[in-house]
């Protein structure tokens, strides 16, 4: 959890806007000494001066400028939550309070974690707090917003429809808060912090390992987390700011909230063990594949849908898999120990193919190509570590494109 205080950050932002402690104290309805202490506490927590104190006022340092960018984005998120609450406010119902009630990172963290685990004692344990304190934190947010964030159900504490939207805003604000120390460190040439990637299958075997290893050699203080959840969960994490970017096979409709760009095109191939009965043939046709068992990805995945369309274009029935799995280790083991066939990206089985354990069979599969790319949230301002890793991914992808076209 971040050590940057939202309350101190709010005071800093007003001082930056007004150019002085005295002028900002009037806007904040706080004593000048209290505002000065907030700014000093923020500078101490970041271990860097944010202002140059001059006779004509307080001017932002380079660190102050990057902190203000994050502070502005945080307040945009929180004001959007409050504006939405005002829009939903019922006549004669509870009034929506001032924004100050949202300027408490512990409250926002409690709500975000409760939306994830649905169990207040678990949230209390995770945050090192009492259940009563967590309950009060959530209640304070609900009082300010004039509506409940959660409903108590047989399945635990579940967010209301409005609560889901607002907690997404809280999570994006908390993500911006986490990135502030990383932005400041980057000014001194230090890339640190944690990069969280949503990793889809086509990027896990070759591209991501190469990029991560390379970026960590240059930035050893960086940490990387890879999440291999279903696509829907990854996009939800991207929308809330818990995930920095998603990498893998691009989907036809990513949604208006996301920005996607291609890295390279990947071709699917028919793969089997070295020494498979079909390996001796120079060219394979659809009719040659009958009678062999298949291991394929689960029904409904983009690859299975493309494979079905391919066989239909060939005038043949799609193969019925003996085994369906999304586990690459299981698929690899089945191929190595049997005469099973699969259709998969050769990148995903690169090491086994390079060591001649598996092989790409001579079977043309036109129209089975997929675009591998990166997806981010529109408007997201990535932290230095995420940008460094993306630069490395771009560099490796460019090398692959050149090698493919050579």
pLDDT at 2 over 80: no
- CATH number of 191-406, picked from 3.40.190.290, 3.40.50.920, 1.10.8.590, 3.40.50.300: 3.40.190.290
DSSP assignments along 249-270, one per residue: EPPS---TTEEEEEEEEEEEEE
pLDDT at 406 over 50: no
Chain-centre distance for alpha carbon 164:
17
Q: pLDDT of 40-84, one tens digit each?
A: 999 999 999 999 987 777 899 999 999 999 999 999 999 999 999
From CA 154, how far away is CA 176, in angstroms rounded?
A: 34
pLDDT at 292 over 90: yes
Lowest mean pLDDT among 15-24, 126-135, 161-170, 328-337: 15-24
What integer is the mean pLDDT of 30-43?
A: 93
- Residues 293 and 278: beta-carbon distance below 8 Å: no
**Domain residue limits, the chain:** 6-170, 191-406
- Residues 211 and 393: beta-carbon distance below 8 Å: yes
Lowest mean pLDDT among 3-17, 243-257, 270-284, 287-301: 243-257
The CATH T-level fold of domain 6-170 is Arc Repressor Mutant, subunit A (1.10.10)
What integer is the mean pLDDT of 110-115?
A: 96
Lowest mean pLDDT among 111-120, 197-206, 215-224, 290-299: 197-206
For residues 141 and 92, the model is more confident at: 141
pLDDT at 338 over 60: yes
- Residues 246 and 235: beta-carbon distance below 8 Å: yes
On the CB side of 261, CA atoms within 13 Å amount to 9
pLDDT of residue 346: 83
Residue 404's pLDDT band, with cuts at 50, 70 and 90, is low
pTM of this structure: 0.85
As a whole number, the mean pLDDT across the chain is 92
pLDDT at 311 over 70: yes
Q: What is the dihedral of CA 133, 134, 136, 141, to 10 degrees?
A: 140
What integer is the mean pLDDT of 335-355?
A: 91
pLDDT of residue 99: 92
- Residues composing the chain: 406
User: Per the structure block, which two tokens stand in for 171?
Assistant: 């999570």
pLDDT of residue 405: 53
Q: pLDDT of 260-275, one tens digit each?
A: 999 988 888 999 999 9
From CA 162, how far away is CA 149, in angstroms rounded?
A: 7
């Amino acid at each position: 959890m971040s050590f940057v205080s939202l309350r101190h950050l709010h005071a800093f932002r007003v001082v930056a806007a007004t150019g002085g402690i005295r002028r900002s104290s009037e806007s904040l309805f706080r004593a000048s000494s209290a505002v000065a202490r907030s700014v000093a506490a923020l500078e101490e927590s970041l271990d860097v001066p944010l202002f140059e104190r001059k006779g004509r006022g307080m001017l932002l340092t380079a660190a102050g400028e990057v902190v203000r960018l994050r502070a502005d984005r945080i307040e945009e998120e929180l004001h959007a939550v409050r504006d939405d609450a005002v829009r939903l406010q019922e006549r004669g119902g509870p009034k929506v309070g001032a924004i100050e009630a949202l300027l408490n990172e512990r409250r926002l963290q409690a709500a975000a974690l409760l939306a994830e685990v649905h169990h207040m004692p678990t949230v209390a344990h995770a945050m090192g707090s009492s259940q009563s304190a967590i309950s009060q934190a959530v209640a304070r947010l609900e009082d300010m917003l004039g509506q409940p964030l959660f409903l108590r159900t047989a399945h635990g504490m579940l967010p209301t429809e409005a609560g889901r939207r607002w907690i997404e805003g809280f999570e994006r604000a908390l993500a911006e808060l986490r990135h502030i120390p990383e932005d400041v460190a980057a000014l001194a040439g230090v890339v640190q912090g944690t990069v969280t990637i949503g990793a889809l299958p086509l990027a896990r075997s070759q591209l991501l390992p190469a990029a991560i290893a390379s970026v960590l050699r240059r930035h050893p203080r960086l940490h990387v987390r890879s999440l291999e959840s279903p696509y829907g969960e990854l996009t939800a994490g991207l929308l809330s700011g818990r995930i920095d970017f998603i990498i893998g096979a691009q989907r036809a409709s990513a949604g208006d909230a996301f920005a996607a760009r291609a890295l390279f095109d990947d071709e699917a191939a028919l793969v089997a063990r070295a020494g498979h009965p079909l390996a001796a043939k120079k060219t394979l046709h659809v009719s040659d594949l009958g009678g062999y068992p298949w291991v394929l990805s689960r029904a409904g995945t983009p690859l299975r849908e493309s494979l079905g369309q391919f066989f239909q274009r060939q005038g043949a029935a799609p193969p019925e898999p003996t085994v369906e799995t999304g586990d690459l280790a299981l698929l690899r083991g089945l191929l190595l120990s049997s005469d099973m066939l699969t259709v998969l990206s050769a990148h995903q089985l690169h090491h086994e193919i390079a060591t001649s354990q598996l092989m790409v069979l001579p079977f043309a599969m036109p129209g089975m190509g997929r675009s591998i790319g990166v997806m981010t949230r529109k408007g997201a301002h990535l932290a230095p570590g995420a940008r460094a890793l993306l630069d490395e991914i771009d560099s490796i992808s460019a090398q692959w494109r050149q090698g493919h076209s050579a």
